[in-house]
Structure 1
Amino acid sequence: MTQPSLYVFPEYFELHPLSEEDVPGVLDGSDAGTGERFMVVDTRAHRSCYLANPVIKSYLELFRQPRAEAAALEELARQAACSPEAIATTVRAFFLRMRRAGLLRSEGADLREEPNQALTPGQVLGEYRVGELIVEKADVALHHARQLGTGMPVVLKVFVLQGPRADRERELFAREFSLMAGLAPHENICRLLSFHPGEPCYAALEYAGGKPIRHGTAEATLSLPERVRIGAEALTALAHLHRHGVLHGDVHSRNFMLTDERRVKLIDFGLSRRSGDAVEASSVPHGGLPAFMPPERIEPGKLSISSRPGDMRSEVFQLGVLLHDILTGREPFAEKVLWRRLAQAIRSQPAPRAVWTPEGERIPAALADVVECALAKAPEERFPSAMELLEAWRAAWPRTARPVRAKERACL
């Protein structure tokens, strides 16, 4: 049996409370948060190298004794009184950042499984000049870049994993772009520009904008017609996939981007597969954010995420969550709660009806009915695919209806 990889927070790192005069050398404001903060100090050079909040501090201290990532995840879930699945994505992303920062080290031969370093800004890769890093994951790094000569902005998705798992993960990486290359082009789907299977292995993708759809709809005051248009474009992208027998595999608000012109682009086909293909259903990992998980993929007794793959009706449910969020500014089920409470709500509680936009415009009943149907608990009660959902969405939008403003709300 293969032993799990063990990691350790080296003894030459010390954690000290942060004083006002301390200026850490490497900061990550998104992790630092507010309240009490700590410095991670490298005693070999006696310099600060990371800024940590109490959550980061407690996580790192788990690794004072070598342990596997899975064991750390179980312990953190126990402390948070939730299931490991509820925090797995966040914890594993953080775990990767700590490894890249050198704060967690592999033991022994496991060092060969550390990911490669991301590309260097300014480096020329093929016909592209590499820009700043967007995000690092366990197996890939995404960079801004520009095409030489034209200056066209693109995104480079680079395979970075090494070690025993690399061959299998690289096959999945190449498969993502093979599937994208076989799709007919669509204005609401991120376009594959090129794929390079050599070293480094990477794909060049159309730049789809810097804001996920949720951020874009939350940061601006949008009219109801604009929210309906954005929802229609998201549905059009999925309908295009379903029409060609393809499941996206990871439908949620972070995978729909808004361009600078506020057009929708669907991204990230790493978990996509052909509908009805049993081989792909068993070999391609099944994704999904907890708040977008359809009820049929939640085990009723354990309230854990099922290993059973979703289908087009499952993605219709996920689109229903997205549409509710676009219209109302809120996801239909409880946000920022423990997984058990969220899972129970998804399985047993009816989704709240979409009634008002954040700006105080009343949502037409016909649109709310479409969202409600998409969010039906039983898959057979939903639209069969995104194509039928799109048709219903278009039919339900009464363009001549007068919106009800916030001032009128108290009178109703």
Structure 2
Amino acid sequence: MSDRKDIRWRLASNAVLVSLDDINLPRLWGQIVEGWMSSEPCYVLYRPGSRSGPMAVNAQVRNLLRRFHHPMTFIEAVIRTARAENDNPHHTLKQLQPVVFGLIQRGILVQADAFRCDTAPATMHTLCTGSRFRDYVVKATIRSLRDSEVYLIESVRDGMPCVLKIEGRHCEGTTGKQRIQQALLREFNVLNELREAPTCELIEQGRWRGRVFGILSHVGFQHVQREAWRIRDEAGSDRASRLSILQLFCACLGVLEKVHAHGYLHGDIHPGNFLVDEVGEVRIVDFGGAQRIDRHGKGLLGHQGGVVHYLPPEVAADRIKGNCQTGWTIASEIYAAAALGYELLTGQRHLPSRMYKEDALAQIVSTPARTFARIGVAPWPDIERVLRKALATKPSQRYSSVRSFRIALLRARSFTAKGGSSIA
């Protein structure tokens, strides 16, 4: 584990575990962007008010979570879980270690002696299903966080489905309120300038009861990660699924390429921000971290956001030093996109999970991406070679543009299709 093996953990007080039989599976399934499934998933685990989406877990993980109703170390919890299942503790440890990493990163498990900041209001959302918002009816809550809320709404005039994105009512203090207002206004301004790009359209914006809101066109059904899972499930062969998923990833790069062509960096690349619409087209959403590109390929603002697993080494190095206003560049975006592509193609991340954020950042700075063979996935030499270049530790060693990265992948795919190298 680590030198912190004596730390005692507890279950966050607002963690929710529900059976798949008790939820609206078709709607929620598209939101599940990660899961550990050594057997068929039986439950969905999430935290209301958290930016981390729900994840699918099985009965073994449920049994592990029960141990943390009272503070205990990870080793103690594993031993008790193994005994309850008549299993070998070493085998249980191997199975559950990556799960615990994810639970800690998502805030599902928190240190027992930490300040109790894991609570959330019982009802985070402002609007209920069936209620009116201007000329729209609320159909469903998509996401409800402390600082922002997202709803699926429908026009009362023509029945057109749209998305309402509004400032949350539980922002923490004046600074938090100002930050989310600035992010939403920046996103809406960017969308106004990206009307020709493959993203959502800003239909209307304004203030409602003093809170910033925007009404966006409804463009997506599910995340690209879920679409990759669907392809694996339905493809007749591993070769066919890998080629189809590669095509899906190239579509993601094509979308990002168009955003760059309009003079913007997206700034928050991860599976949840690429959606597949009803006709199979990829769209990119959430431009709260977007910024203009200068003539050197750098963003004009400091970069504060981003999901840790997709941060490039140069940004991770600055975060370790405590600099949260580090620069974000085209090279940074290429690294983040390559990390996404690796995950789509293999179903695993390019670097091992780490329990602590500082360990994850240090690993990004110093560790090259794992080969497919290293994680038990059939090698794909030509594609792996392209990904390695895009995931290079030094920005100068990566591709100069998203376009050149995408073209390199397409050439490698063509070479494979012609029998130039093995795909499996």
TM-score normalised over the length of structure 1: 0.67
1:143 aligns with 151
CA 1:395 to 1:311, structure 2 compared with 1: closer, same or farther past 3 Å?
A: same
The residue correspondences of 1:247-258 to structure 2 (distance < 5 A) are: 247-258=265-276
Offset of residue 305 of structure 1: 6.8
2:120 to 70, 75, 99: 99
Question: Equivalents in 1 of 2:352, 2:375: separation in Å?
Answer: 18
Question: Equivalents in 2 of 1:90, 1:290: separation in Å?
Answer: 14
State whether residues 200 and 219 of structure 2, in contact with CA within 8 Å, keep that contact through their aligned partners in structure 1.
Answer: yes
1:178 aligns with 189
CA 1:373 to 1:153, structure 2 compared with 1: closer, same or farther past 3 Å?
A: same
Question: Equivalents in 1 of 2:382, 2:64: separation in Å?
Answer: 49
2:347 aligns with 329
1:281 aligns with 301
Question: Equivalents in 1 of 2:189, 2:319: separation in Å?
Answer: 38
Q: Which runs of 5+ in 2 are unaligned?
A: 1-12, 15-42, 48-60, 73-96, 98-102, 111-115, 236-240
Output one character per residue of 1:106-139: Cα deviation in whole Å (capped at 9) or x when no partner.
Answer: xxxxxxxxx8x42121122233211221111221
Offset of residue 152 of structure 1: 2.7
Is the aligned partner of 1:211 residue 2:244? no
Q: Which stretch shows the higher mean deviation, 271-280 or 236-245? A: 271-280
SS in 1 for 2:119: helix
Is the aligned partner of 1:374 residue 2:385? no
TM-score normalised over the length of structure 2: 0.65
Offset of residue 324 of structure 1: 1.0
2:36 aligns with none
Is the aligned partner of 1:309 residue 2:317? no
CA 1:154 to 1:359, structure 2 compared with 1: closer, same or farther past 3 Å?
A: farther
SS in 2 for 1:197: strand
Letter of the structure 1 residue corresponding to residue 243 of structure 2: P
CA 1:335 to 1:150, structure 2 compared with 1: closer, same or farther past 3 Å?
A: farther
1:319 aligns with 337
Question: Equivalents in 2 of 1:125, 1:96: separation in Å?
Answer: 31
Offset of residue 140 of structure 1: 0.8
Q: Which runs of 5+ in 1 are unaligned?
A: 1-13, 16-27, 38-52, 60-79, 81-85, 103-114
SS in 2 for 1:30: strand
The residue correspondences of 1:395-410 to structure 2 (distance < 5 A) are: 395-398=411-414, 400-401=417-418
Question: Equivalents in 2 of 1:56, 1:170: separation in Å?
Answer: 37
1:155 aligns with 163
Offset of residue 327 of structure 1: 1.6
Offset of residue 172 of structure 1: 2.8
Question: Equivalents in 2 of 1:264, 1:230: separation in Å?
Answer: 8
Question: Equivalents in 2 of 1:390, 1:194: separation in Å?
Answer: 34
CA 1:202 to 1:55, structure 2 compared with 1: closer, same or farther past 3 Å?
A: farther
2:243 to 225, 234, 243: 225
SS in 1 for 2:317: coil
2:9 aligns with none
1:45 aligns with none
The residue correspondences of 1:326-405 to structure 2 (distance < 5 A) are: 326-335=344-353, 337-354=355-372, 363=380, 365-398=381-414, 400-401=417-418
Offset of residue 306 of structure 1: 4.7
Offset of residue 215 of structure 1: 2.5
1:35 aligns with 63
CA 1:129 to 1:249, structure 2 compared with 1: closer, same or farther past 3 Å?
A: same
State whether residues 303 and 343 of structure 1, in contact with CA within 8 Å, keep that contact through their aligned partners in structure 2.
Answer: no
1:164 to 148, 170, 174: 174
CA 1:254 to 1:367, structure 2 compared with 1: closer, same or farther past 3 Å?
A: same
State whether residues 210 and 258 of structure 1, in contact with CA within 8 Å, keep that contact through their aligned partners in structure 2.
Answer: yes
Larger-gyration structure (1/2): 1
CA 1:97 to 1:201, structure 2 compared with 1: closer, same or farther past 3 Å?
A: farther
Question: Equivalents in 2 of 1:146, 1:358: separation in Å?
Answer: 45
Question: Equivalents in 1 of 2:313, 2:321: separation in Å?
Answer: 10
1:120 aligns with 128
Question: Equivalents in 1 of 2:267, 2:135: separation in Å?
Answer: 31
CA 1:36 to 1:391, structure 2 compared with 1: closer, same or farther past 3 Å?
A: closer
State whether residues 328 and 355 of structure 1, in contact with CA within 8 Å, keep that contact through their aligned partners in structure 2.
Answer: no
Question: Equivalents in 1 of 2:186, 2:328: separation in Å?
Answer: 19
Identity of aligned residues (%): 20
Offset of residue 298 of structure 1: 2.0
Output one character per residue of 1:314-335: Cα deviation in whole Å (capped at 9) or x when no partner.
Answer: 0100011011112222111013
SS in 1 for 2:45: helix
Letter of the structure 1 residue corresponding to residue 219 of structure 2: A
State whether residues 242 and 385 of structure 1, in contact with CA within 8 Å, keep that contact through their aligned partners in structure 2.
Answer: no
State whether residues 163 and 216 of structure 2, in contact with CA within 8 Å, keep that contact through their aligned partners in structure 1.
Answer: yes
State whether residues 128 and 148 of structure 1, in contact with CA within 8 Å, keep that contact through their aligned partners in structure 2.
Answer: yes
Question: Equivalents in 1 of 2:105, 2:62: separation in Å?
Answer: 23
2:78 aligns with none
State whether residues 324 and 354 of structure 1, in contact with CA within 8 Å, keep that contact through their aligned partners in structure 2.
Answer: no
Question: Equivalents in 2 of 1:370, 1:334: separation in Å?
Answer: 20
CA 1:387 to 1:357, structure 2 compared with 1: closer, same or farther past 3 Å?
A: farther
State whether residues 329 and 358 of structure 1, in contact with CA within 8 Å, keep that contact through their aligned partners in structure 2.
Answer: no
